[in-house]
Amino acid sequence: MITQLCYYKKDKNQKNKEKGEYFMNTKEQKVDAKKIREEVKETYAKAISRKNPSCCCSLEETCCSTKAKDIGYREEELNNFPADSNITTFGCGNPLAYSEVREGDVVLDLGPGAGLDLLIAARKVGPSGQVIGVDMTEEMITKAKENIKVAGVKNVEVRKGLIENLPVESSSVDWVISNCVINLSPEKEKVFSEIARVLKPGGRMIVSDMVGENIPEWLRENKSLYSACISGVVSEKEYLSGLRKAGLEKVKVSERIVYQSDELESFIKSSPEISKDIKRIVKEQDIKVASVKISAYKPAL
């Protein structure tokens, strides 16, 4: 879900501007951070309030449930929840798939939405462990708490806050996970720094997220596609560099699914404001978007 409404460098980089290349760490970036968050909050508050969210995954036997399996959730993970729970995911992968989360660990989920990954993590860490979710959208928090109550788990807590300023103690968690959320942040480098701060020495981060290259400016400015995890993505190189700059090590991409041109065209055309010849633009500008799983470690003392 962005690092930016980041702005372009000056005239000498006009060529990059035309290609849609964004840069982190600009002073101008701060100007729109609040506006971006409010737009994202509004979009997801509406989405989670729908009876049958069309852009997410449901545990019911619907097309949405099929998609949950398509992005890495195993049958047993989706079938073990109470029948009256109503859990959806707006993710692009399963950050906990094949992870080494152990009983007794403390797991922090950035932007847990309705709580699917919270509940999966709760099973992994057991009664002696703890799972914390941090979300900025009240409607998401309410839904997550409802699902936690229905599931009957006692080791999960959801806190309201920003992932750029986590309400979590330093060096207090073993794992940081996130599912297609960091890309929505207007201040990604702050997120990376916060991840490094809250991890215990030797702790790990593993996230599923979106990255992209050659995103044109007119696409960057599309509010609908920003919330759809397209307009605000940074490149894979920039993402990994940001994590290393925050002090994390062993940064790597373990999975990468590149969207085919027809899939990308379909995403972009879903926005009613766009009437351009998307097929031609995607090909000519070499627009690339991918879902990736990224991991990193905080150095041990």
| Six-digit token string for 185 | 């942040």
CA 95, CA 104: separation in Å to the nearest integer?
19
CA 114, CA 298: separation in Å to the nearest integer?
28
Classify residue 41: in a domain, yes or no: yes
Which run of H or E residues covers position 140? helix 138-151
| Six-digit token string for 91 | 């993710």
Classify residue 99: in a domain, yes or no: yes
pLDDT for the residue 64: 31
Q: What is the pLDDT of residues 258-288, one digit of tens each?
A: 988 877 777 676 666 665 667 777 777 788 8
Classify residue 1: in a domain, yes or no: no
Provide the domain count of the chain: 1
Is residue 194 within 8 A of residue 165, CB to CB? The reply is: yes
Q: What is the pTM of this model?
A: 0.80
Question: What SS3 state is found at 5?
Answer: coil
Classify residue 23: in a domain, yes or no: yes
Classify residue 4: in a domain, yes or no: no
pLDDT for the residue 215: 86
CA 17, CA 38: separation in Å to the nearest integer?
26
Residue 36 has, within 13 A of its CA and on its CB side, a CA count of 28
CA 190, CA 242: separation in Å to the nearest integer?
9
Dihedral through CA 272, CA 45, CA 290, CA 257, nearest 10?
-120
pLDDT for the residue 72: 64
Is residue 36 within 8 A of residue 222, CB to CB? The reply is: no
| Per-residue pLDDT tens listing for the chain (301 residues) | 333 223 222 333 333 333 333 334 333 444 488 888 888 888 888 877 765 544 433 333 322 333 555 556 666 666 656 554 555 666 676 788 767 999 999 999 999 988 889 999 999 999 999 999 999 999 999 999 999 999 899 999 999 999 999 999 999 999 999 999 999 998 999 999 999 999 999 999 999 999 999 988 878 877 777 777 887 899 999 999 999 999 999 999 999 989 888 777 776 766 666 656 677 777 777 888 999 999 999 999 8
Kindly state the percentage of the chain with pLDDT values over 70. Answer: 71
Classify residue 210: in a domain, yes or no: yes
Which run of H or E residues covers position 217? helix 217-220
| Strand-strand pairing, 288-297 and 106-110 | unpaired
Residue 151: name the closest of 175, 120, 183, 173 by CA.
Answer: 120
pLDDT for the residue 27: 38
Classify residue 2: in a domain, yes or no: no
CATH number reported for the structural domain that contains residue 248 in this entry: 3.40.50.150
Domain membership of residue 281 as a residue range: 11-297
Is residue 141 within 8 A of residue 71, CB to CB? The reply is: no
Please tell me what DSSP assigns to residue 68: H
Q: What is the pLDDT of residues 215-231, one digit of tens each?
A: 888 788 777 777 778 87
